[in-house]
Amino acid sequence: MTEYKLQTPGFDARFPQQNQTKHCYQSYLDYHKCVALKGSDFEPCKVFWHTFQSLCPHDWVENWDDEREKGIFPGDLSIDQFKDKTEEKKE
Amino acid sequence: MYMLNNMLNDVPTPWGMFFQDSATPNMEGMMELHNNVMFYLCMMLGFVSYMLYNMLTTYNHSVLPYKYLYHGQFIEIVWTTFPAMILLIIAFPSFILLYICDEVIAPAMTIKAMGLQWYWKYEYSDFIDDKGETIEFESYMIPEDLLEEGQLRQLDVDSPIVCPVDTHMRFIVTAADVIHDFAMPSLGIKIDAVPGRLNQTSALIQREGVYYGQCSELCGVMHSSMPIKIEAVSLGEFLAWIDEQ
């Protein structure tokens, strides 16, 4: 038997409501922004991945992935604002 | 005979006048609140019936329907504050319970339930195998002509949800077509499944058993044929089940 760790996204103060739709969606956006900024091997990005993986229905994620591939994803995935800050820090 | 019956009731029964037996602290609280409210309800019913009876039978000899009283400051204060107090006494425990049940603080696992016309689809996305695939299955009701001995008509499904006991679980409930409703009487859960919205609720099942629920929002012709079945097993057995999937 494989080892399992019972772990799931916990309480998030930004989403205390019964309605968790935004929790799922924001994590999806955050993950893809994170990957675009830091690369898919960057460990902290995985937190977002696990969160949206656990909260979003599979169909939704598939749908969004398709939309991103076709370039018609309506969400804001721009990372320019974050880029400036990281570059400023380096300087 | 009834008192000797130690079987716990987790299914709807004919002429079932009371709740199914609880399996979660939430449901315990709901039954407690129900009993509390019932107490006040019976008291008020008795009191009002007595007054009405008294007025009807002893009209001329009783002080209650005193017919020359046109205005009474004191009695007006009493019949305003007294019902208000009763309402507060009922309302406060109700709010406390409502907000406690709403809280999903530290769940150990998440189960997604998606309502479709007319079946449920479940996802256990916390568990990912080497190929990156998760557990996802559909749960259909067993039609009447395929029922086996001991299975429950309109309640048994081909693949039930398997849950560990004594583990905080988060249910994420949504729908893909019309509004459905994920209701489990024994667990004290009843939450709408709305397309495009993720509703969360939690459950801490405290005993092993098989629990049944039904879709509780009219969702079409086969609304009555999309039951929910939960098998609560020990954590070890649950992990063995996960392993099989």
ipTM (interface pTM)? 0.84
| Of B215 and B68, the one with more pLDDT | B215
Q: Evaluate if residue B161 carries a pLDDT over 80.
A: yes
pLDDT category at B111 given cuts 50, 70, 90 is: very high
Average pLDDT in chain B: 90
Total tally of structural domains belonging to chain A: 1
Q: Which amino acid is at A88?
A: E
Tokens of B212: 């049944």
pLDDT of amino acid B3: 55
CATH number at residue A53: 1.10.10.140
> Does a structural domain hold residue A61?
yes
Q: Which domains does chain B have, with CATH numbers?
A: 25-102 (1.10.287), 109-244 (2.60.40.420)
> Does a structural domain hold residue A75?
yes
Q: Residue A20 and residue B128: Cβ atoms within 8 Å?
A: no
Q: Residue A21 and residue B196: Cβ atoms within 8 Å?
A: yes
> Does a structural domain hold residue A4?
no
pLDDT category at B1 given cuts 50, 70, 90 is: very low
Provide the 10 A C-beta neighbour count for residue A30.
17
Q: What mean pLDDT do residues B51-59 have?
A: 85
Provide the 10 A C-beta neighbour count for residue B7.
6
Q: Residue A18 and residue B102: Cβ atoms within 8 Å?
A: yes
Walk across the sheet containing B199-204 and list its strands: B134-139, B119-128, B109-116, B168-175, B199-204
Q: What mean pLDDT do residues B6-15 have?
A: 81
Q: Which of B210, B175, B29 is nearest to B102 (CA)?
A: B29
User: Is residue B180 less than 8 Å (CB to CB) from chain A?
Assistant: no
Tokens of B164: 């560990």
Number of Cα atoms under 13 Å in the Cβ half of residue B219: 28
CB B181 within 8 A of CB B190: yes
Q: Residue B104 and residue A11: Cβ atoms within 8 Å?
A: yes
Helix (H, G, I), strand (E, B) or coil at B37: helix
pLDDT of amino acid B32: 95
Q: Residue B123 and residue A11: Cβ atoms within 8 Å?
A: no
User: Is residue A20 less than 8 Å (CB to CB) from chain B?
Assistant: yes
> Does a structural domain hold residue A12?
no
Which range (B29-43, B54-68, B123-137, B143-157) has the least confidence?
B54-68
Q: Evaluate if residue A91 carries a pLDDT over 60.
A: no
B162-174 tens-digit pLDDT: 999 999 999 999 9
Walk across the sheet containing B180-184 and list its strands: B161-164, B228-233, B209-215, B180-184, B189-193
Is B168 a known ligand-binding residue? no
| Of B150 and A62, the one with more pLDDT | A62
Q: Hey, which residues does B213 pair with through a beta bridge?
A: B228
pLDDT of amino acid B55: 83
Which range (A42-46, B59-63, B202-206) has the least confidence?
B59-63
pLDDT of amino acid A87: 56
> Does a structural domain hold residue A10?
no
> Does a structural domain hold residue A54?
yes
The H-assigned helical ranges of chain A are 21-38, 45-55, 58-70, 80-90
Smallest Cβ–Cβ distance between B109 and the set A6, A24, A59 belongs to A6
Is B42 a known ligand-binding residue? no
- Shortest distance between the Cα of A43 and any Cα of chain B, in A, equals 17
Smallest Cβ–Cβ distance between B174 and the set A4, A9, A57 belongs to A57
List the end-to-end C-alpha distance of chain A, in Å, as a whole number.
51
Kindly write down the DSSP assignment for every residue of B139-205, as one continuous string: E-BPPGGGPPTTPPTTT-BSS-EEEETTSEEEEEEEESSS-EEEEEGGGTEEEEE-BT--EEEEEE-
> Does a structural domain hold residue A47?
yes
pTM: 0.85
User: Is residue B54 less than 8 Å (CB to CB) from chain A?
Assistant: no
Smallest Cβ–Cβ distance between B127 and the set A4, A19, A56 belongs to A4
Is B71 a known ligand-binding residue? no
Q: What percent of chain B has pLDDT over 70?
A: 98
Chain A partners within 8 Å of B110 (Cβ): 8-9, 54-55
Distance of CA B57 to the CA centre of its chain: 44
Domain that includes residue A65, residue range: 21-90
pLDDT category at B14 given cuts 50, 70, 90 is: confident
User: Is residue B242 less than 8 Å (CB to CB) from chain A?
Assistant: yes
A23-82 tens-digit pLDDT: 999 999 999 999 999 888 888 899 999 999 999 999 999 999 999 999 999 988 888 887
| Of B53 and A88, the one with more pLDDT | B53
User: Is residue A57 less than 8 Å (CB to CB) from chain B?
Assistant: yes
Q: What mean pLDDT do residues B131-147 have?
A: 89
Distance of CA A18 to the CA centre of its chain: 20
pLDDT category at B180 given cuts 50, 70, 90 is: very high
